Amino acid sequence: MGSMPTPRPVVLVSALALSLLGPCASALIVPMSGWVPVNGNANVWTDTSGACLLREERSEQAFPVLASQEEALAFAAKLRVQLSKSMGPVISQPVDRAGFWAVLAAYDYKKEDATYKVSQLYINDAGTLRTVTGSSADGEKGACVNAMREFIRYLAD
């Protein structure tokens, strides 16, 4: 019997963000060596092995500046409740972005027989919602996984 192929990562946007997507104004800059745009789309990036995927999406929906940790904590709690309805358990937390706050969510996404680990940053972009989402197959141990998560947690803005 042949072995099953390793599932490629799927980047999903939460049900909340999916309904909010609008046209992209500029492209995500991914500072990780070897990462390339997928099919020339500078809003979707993958590492050289194809084990990790990053996607940036912009919405036309108003999204407030989270000016304090308290505001970010309140939004994180609401986001956790909303995402948990469709994604199962969700972890969300505020992240500091030099003068304002964003919210980071992490959850598992199941599709057919595969499970993906998803990290998603919710951020204000000139008054509208922008998300940066990273995913990899559950159990993926490649170097891209930690690099991608650190980029989303500390650098994406």
The C-alpha atoms of residue 100 and residue 121 are separated, in whole angstroms, by: 14
* CA pair distance 96, 29, nearest whole angstrom: 19
pTM: 0.81
Task: Yes or no: say if 116 and 145 are a contact pair by the CB < 8 Å rule.
Answer: no
Domains of the chain, start order? 15-23+36-155 (3.40.1000.10)
User: What's residue 62's pLDDT?
Assistant: 94
**pLDDT score of 85 more than 60:** yes
pLDDT digits (tens, 9 = 90+) for 22-58: 333 456 777 788 899 999 898 999 999 999 999 999 9
- Regarding beta strands 52-62 and 41-46, do their DSSP bridges make them parallel or antiparallel, or are they unpaired? antiparallel
Cβ contact 42:28 at 8 Å: yes
